[in-house]
Amino acid sequence: MARNATNKLLQKAKKSKSDEFYTQLCDIESELEHYKIHFRNKVVFCNCDDPLISNFFNYFASNFEELGLKKLIAACYKEPIENSINSIDKESGYYYEYNGHLDEKCKPTLSDIVYFNGDGDFRNDESIELLKQSDIIVTNPPFSLFREYLAQLVSYKKKFLIIGNVNAITYKEVFKLIQADSAWLGINLGRGVSGFIVPEHYELYGTEARIDEFGNRIVSPNNCLWLTNLDTSYRHEDINLKKEYYGNESEYPQYDNYNGINVNKTKDIPKDYMGYIGVPITFLHKYNPEQFDLIKFRKGDNDKDLSINGKCPYFRILIKRKVKSESKKTA
Ligand SMILES: C[S@@+](CC[C@H](N)C(=O)[O-])C[C@H]1O[C@@H](n2cnc3c(N)ncnc32)[C@H](O)[C@@H]1O
């Protein structure tokens, strides 16, 4: 490849970073199957999704009747053309409202879409108007704007199911929401999200990078989560605790700066310890708010990172077993 062309590709890759990860239909299906009851008679808005190509749009359009949706809206940001995997040279952002009337193909064409006056940024008034009309927002938003994106959903009190990076748990805004039981992790996490379609100019990195049978270029970062405020029965199931603290105290070191013990794996949480326990952030994937309280994130009493003999394990969440009332225990 000529040097100029290579440089151009590298520039595009740098610019788009991981904002240009397009979600695969198989990953949407394997998460969405757990939430079907929430969608009856609801307006779904995919506000970072090109209706012409988005698999979120495809999923909801194809399952429109089965889910009993009232309406589906997908809105698309005017991505600079060189970053886009869609070949359409967009003049401005656009959206499409689907009411279940398209026949078997369920796919809109260019003549069906409505152009925004602006670029379709999710923060623009035009997009916010659509947000206000909607009940549930489902998408994979731009990773670089995740905090702002989530803050907007919260401020408009919307139900949501969105993809983010596992590290989003370490954002204090996200932890606060989870602590208040206003949001929680979805079903699939890490390797449970199999990979994303990336544009031509994106480097196919990692051992699991591949090109699928349709020619899509796929990378598998294995570091994504679903964040939601739609309930599922899974999050009300207790973690089955097998280990014991008493008799095995040496396996559970005390923190230097907090009256609690450290646990490196969720499965090792002892069933007989009722004090404070520091656990890795992936605990939240198994967290049942009826079994544990989330006490604090990351810091000890001295407001420094939790440490053991001077060494800090990667972000810990302090939890404490809930004492279940007798009536609940026997229920
Ligand atoms: C991680 S990609 C996911 C795309 C699509 N939601 C999917 O899951 O296949 C994020 C998308 O957000 C779009 N985007 C970037 N900035 C945006 C903004 N300010 N407002 C709305 N969409 C934006 C990008 O063009 C990109 O298509």
pTM of the model: 0.91
The pLDDT of residue 296 is above 60:
yes
Which residue minimizes the CA distance to atom 18 of ligand 1?
Answer: 121
Best-predicted range by mean pLDDT among 5-9, 109-113, 156-160?
Answer: 156-160
The DSSP call for residue 255 is P
Give me ligand 1 centre to Cα 222, in Å: 19
User: What's the rounded Cα separation, in Å, for the pair 46 and 317?
Assistant: 32
Which residue minimizes the CA distance to atom 20 of ligand 1?
Answer: 121
Other Cβ atoms within 10 Å of 240 Cβ, number: 8
Q: Strand 276-280 relative to strand 316-321: parallel, antiparallel, unpaired?
A: antiparallel
Q: Name the H helices within 17-103.
A: 25-32, 55-62, 64-67
**200 within 8 A of 6, measured Cβ to Cβ:** no
Give residue 89's pLDDT.
Answer: 58
174's CB contacts (< 8 A; 6+ apart) are 147, 150, 164, 168, 183, 227
Which atom of ligand 1 approaches the CA of 48 most closely? 22
Give residue 202's pLDDT.
Answer: 82
Burial class (CB in 10 A: 0-12, 13-18, 19+), 208: middle
Give residue 1's pLDDT.
Answer: 43
The pLDDT of residue 330 is above 60:
no
Q: Name the H helices within 91-189.
A: 125-132, 146-155, 172-179
- Per-residue pLDDT averaged across 13-24, rounded? 71
User: What's the rounded Cα separation, in Å, for the pair 283 and 3?
Assistant: 47
pLDDT per residue as tens digits for the range 33-75: 999 999 999 999 999 999 999 999 999 999 999 999 999 999 9
The pLDDT of residue 311 is above 50:
yes
User: What's the rounded Cα separation, in Å, for the pair 165 and 145?
Assistant: 11
- Per-residue pLDDT averaged across 24-30, rounded? 98
Which residue minimizes the CA distance to atom 4 of ligand 1?
Answer: 22
Give residue 331's pLDDT.
Answer: 40
Give residue 104's pLDDT.
Answer: 58
Q: Sorting pLDDT into bands at 50, 70 and 90, what band is 5? A: very low
Give me ligand 1 centre to Cα 146, in Å: 10
Question: What are 7-15's contacts with CB under 8 Å, separation 24+?
Answer: 8/82, 8/201, 9/200, 9/201, 10/201, 12/82, 12/83, 12/199, 12/201, 13/201, 13/202, 13/203, 15/80, 15/82, 15/83
Q: What is the CA radius of gyration of the chain?
A: 22
Give residue 6's pLDDT.
Answer: 43
Q: Strand 71-76 relative to strand 159-165: parallel, antiparallel, unpaired?
A: unpaired
User: 73-82, 116-125, 134-143, 265-274: which range is least confident on average?
Assistant: 73-82
Burial class (CB in 10 A: 0-12, 13-18, 19+), 153: buried
Domain boundaries along the sequence of the chain = 3-234, 237-330
- Per-residue pLDDT averaged across 121-128, rounded? 98
CA 209: distance to chain centroid? 21
Which atom of ligand 1 approaches the CA of 28 most closely? 8
- At 226 the three-state DSSP class reads strand
User: What's the rounded Cα separation, in Å, for the pair 31 and 137?
Assistant: 14
Give me ligand 1 centre to Cα 71, in Å: 21
Q: Sorting pLDDT into bands at 50, 70 and 90, what band is 108? A: confident
Give residue 13's pLDDT.
Answer: 42
Name every protein residue with a CB atom under 6 angstroms from any ligand 1 atom.
Answer: 19-23, 48-49, 54-56, 77, 79, 121-122, 139-143, 145
Q: Sorting pLDDT into bands at 50, 70 and 90, what band is 284? A: very high
Give residue 303's pLDDT.
Answer: 93
pLDDT per residue as tens digits for the range 152-183: 999 999 999 999 999 999 999 999 999 999 99
Q: Strand 71-76 relative to strand 43-46: parallel, antiparallel, unpaired?
A: parallel
Tell me: domain 3-234, CATH 2.60.40, correct? no
Give residue 11's pLDDT.
Answer: 46
User: What's the rounded Cα separation, in Å, for the pair 167 and 215?
Assistant: 30
- Residue 23, amino acid: T
The pLDDT of residue 112 is above 90:
no
The pLDDT of residue 188 is above 90:
yes
Give residue 325's pLDDT.
Answer: 65
